């Protein structure tokens, strides 16, 4: 079985390729810069098709020749989430390929309305466009937040290093908000196993799958960090949920849609306060890779750092 990984030079793309090779699959890569690949991984690929841009149609069609399945592992950028994916999906249609893993490793946006969380509007638009105009039935995988974003301004609590010690903050009752998350290593293995073993996927039926390494809260994030790094975090409550909603409304008005990155943390917290990130009905993959714990993930980061 030959699979194409578009965006193979990225962090998740290389992990997906490694797992696919371990499963005995042939892997072809598509990207702009093959030098970004680890040398050992590059040597094991069936081939690498170099493209000038995401809209390089000639490269897309060349990369798709004789392929059995496509994985879109593009970087999580608005243009790649929608524009690049539509071009890749249309080329996949023309090539007659039925198996398409969409670039949708994210929190579950199926419960959201357009505009609830601007960063996912492009995913919603892509899913709607393909559902209404294409014979392709993609696979969408909801993984929660990637672990490497948990302790950043984009994660729960808007983590920052602070002037003297790390800081996190929340509105309302911080621990009532549950945040699913996954490591990229877990996601890579589960994605390939869903493609190979989930009912209907290889037949082109697509589907929506929910995976996670764990579910966390502001308190667990702080206490686990303190345990691993022996450094306390200042966790503060900044107000009520109404305060948060009013702050988000002000930021949306001032920053506009083009500036949504500046209020993405507030928008995510509002969605979390409604329980809409909680990916229930999780796909069980117990016979494959076991989930990584938060403590194990942070211990690995400490060792690597």
Give residue-wise pLDDT tens across range 39-54: 999 999 999 999 999 9
Is the domain of 241 the same as that of 115?
no
Residue 134 and residue 89 in contact, taking contact as beta carbons nearer than 8 Å: yes
Query: What are 106's two structure tokens?
Result: 């994210």
Contacts of 39 (CB under 8 A, 6+ apart): none
pLDDT at 175 (0 to 100): 81
**Does residue 133 lie within any of the structural domains?**
yes
| pLDDT-wise least confident of 118-122, 159-163, 245-249 | 159-163
Instruction: Give the residue from 282, 265, 279, 264 showing the smallest Cα distance to 108.
Output: 279
Is the domain of 131 the same as that of 153?
no
Parent domain of 19:
2-145+182-213+278-289
pLDDT at 244 (0 to 100): 96
**Does residue 282 lie within any of the structural domains?**
yes
Is the domain of 190 the same as that of 128?
yes
pLDDT at 286 (0 to 100): 65
pLDDT tens string 265-305:
999 999 999 989 887 788 876 677 889 999 999 999 988 86
State yes or no: pLDDT of 25 exceeds 90. yes
Is the domain of 113 the same as that of 230?
no
Do the bridges between strand 207-210 and strand 139-142 make them parallel or antiparallel, or are there none, so unpaired? parallel
pLDDT at 282 (0 to 100): 85
Q: What is the CATH number of the domain that holds 18?
A: 3.40.50.720
pTM of the model: 0.95
How many angstroms separate the CA atoms of 25 and 133, rounded?
A: 31
State yes or no: pLDDT of 174 exceeds 80. no
**Does residue 221 lie within any of the structural domains?**
yes
Is the domain of 86 the same as that of 166?
no
Is the domain of 71 the same as that of 172?
no
How many domains does the chain fold into?
A: 2
Is the domain of 162 the same as that of 126?
no
pLDDT tens string 79-107:
999 999 999 999 999 999 999 999 999 99
pLDDT at 102 (0 to 100): 98
pLDDT tens string 184-238:
999 999 999 999 999 999 999 999 999 999 999 999 999 999 999 998 999 999 9
Percent of the chain with pLDDT over 90: 87
Q: Count H helices, E strands: the chain?
A: 11, 12
**Does residue 296 lie within any of the structural domains?**
no
Is the domain of 10 the same as that of 129?
yes
Percent of the chain with pLDDT over 70: 99
Residue 288: CA count within 13 A, CB half-sphere: 21
Is the domain of 132 the same as that of 98?
yes
pLDDT tens string 6-15:
999 999 999 9
**Does residue 232 lie within any of the structural domains?**
yes
Do the bridges between strand 26-31 and strand 47-50 make them parallel or antiparallel, or are there none, so unpaired? parallel
Average predicted confidence (pLDDT) for the chain: 94
State yes or no: pLDDT of 256 exceeds 70. yes
């Amino acid at each position: 079985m030959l699979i194409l990984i578009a965006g193979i030079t990225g962090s998740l793309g290389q992990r997906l390729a490694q797992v696919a090779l371990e499963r005995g699959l042939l892997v072809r890569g598509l990207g702009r810069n093959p030098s970004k690949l680890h040398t050992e991984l590059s040597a094991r690929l069936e081939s690498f098709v170099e493209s000038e841009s995401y809209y390089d149609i000639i490269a897309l069609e060349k990369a798709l020749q004789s392929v059995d399945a496509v994985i879109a592992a593009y970087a999580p950028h608005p243009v790649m989430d929608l524009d690049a994916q539509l071009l890749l999906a249309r080329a996949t249609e023309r090539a007659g390929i039925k198996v398409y893993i969409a670039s949708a490793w994210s929190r579950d946006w199926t419960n959201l309305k357009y505009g609830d969380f601007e960063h996912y509007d492009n995913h919603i638009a892509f899913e709607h466009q393909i559902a209404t105009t294409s014979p392709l039935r993609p696979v969408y995988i909801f993984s929660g937040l990637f672990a490497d974003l948990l302790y950043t301004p984009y994660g729960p609590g808007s983590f920052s290093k602070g002037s003297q010690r790390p800081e996190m903050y929340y509105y309302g009752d911080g621990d009532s908000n549950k945040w699913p998350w996954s490591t990229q290593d877990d996601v890579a293995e589960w994605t390939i196993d869903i493609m190979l073993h989930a009912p209907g996927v290889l037949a082109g039926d697509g589907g929506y799958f929910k995976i996670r390494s764990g579910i966390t809260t502001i308190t667990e994030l702080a206490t686990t960090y303190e345990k691993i790094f022996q450094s306390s975090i200042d966790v503060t409550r900044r107000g009520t949920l109404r305060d948060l909603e009013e702050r988000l409304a002000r930021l949306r008005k001032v920053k506009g849609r083009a500036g949504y990155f500046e209020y993405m943390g507030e928008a995510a917290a509002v969605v979390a306060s409604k329980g809409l990130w909680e990916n229930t009905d999780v796909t069980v993959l117990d016979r494959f890779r076991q989930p990584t714990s938060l403590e194990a993930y942070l211990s690995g980061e400490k060792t690597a750092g």
